[in-house]
Amino acid sequence: MIIPGILISILTFPGVAVHELAHQIFCRICRIPVYEVKYFQMKNPCGYVLHEPASNPWKNLLTGLGPFFVNTFLGILITLPAYANVFGYGSHPSPFIQLCSYLLYWLGVSILMHAFPSTGDAKSLITNVLKNKEVNFLAKAVTAPFIGLIYLGALGSMFWLDLAYGISISMLLPQLISTWLF
């Protein structure tokens, strides 16, 4: 059974909002003017950031990949404290703490699921970097593999790669940390 992407986006709306916020943050860091931001809407695309094309290809790459860094970091930060209660490694918490842990875990995984840049981000990189005659070969050579990875991620999302990423990161990192600490 195929679940429409819009339904997944509605169920994981915090991840969509953080994805767009990450683009906006990197636009500000790179001093790229932003014209319009839609953090979430109930249509395709579920969110977007309209900004001026950057004259510098490295700024284009950073703004395109911004959600990967921000969503991954924030998703880890949110799921980490909930991990023990969700997977039964902590003491026996109260029902309220247990419910809060599950809500935090859902929030973190939904944010992690939207860490991958979208095909719209890849198209922007193609237009502003690869097809731009003023951009040097090195910038194009560095950007091209990332564009390929973005499209692979989009293809993988049809097979739940985004969910697998979210769950894997939220489970593996706490296990690694506990192995290092104990």
Residue (of 59, 66, 68) closest to 30 by Cα position: 59
Q: What is the pLDDT of residues 78-116, one digit of tens each?
A: 999 888 888 877 677 889 999 999 999 999 999 999 999
C-alpha of 78 from chain center: 14
pLDDT for the residue numbered 173: 85
Rounded mean pLDDT, 105-128: 95
60: left (phi over 0), alpha (psi -120 to 50) or beta: alpha
Q: Are 70 and 111 in contact (CB under 8 A)?
A: no
pLDDT for res 158: 85
Lowest mean pLDDT among 1-5, 62-66, 125-129, 158-162: 1-5
3-state secondary structure 14-55: HHHHHHHHHHHHHHHHCCCCEEEEECCCCCCCCCEEEECCCC
Instruction: Give me the chain's average pLDDT, please.
Output: 92
Query: What predicted TM-score, i.e. pTM, was given to this entire model?
Result: 0.91
Phi, psi of 37 (to 5 degrees): -130, 135
pLDDT in tens, 6-54: 888 889 999 999 999 999 999 999 999 999 999 999 988 999 999 998 8
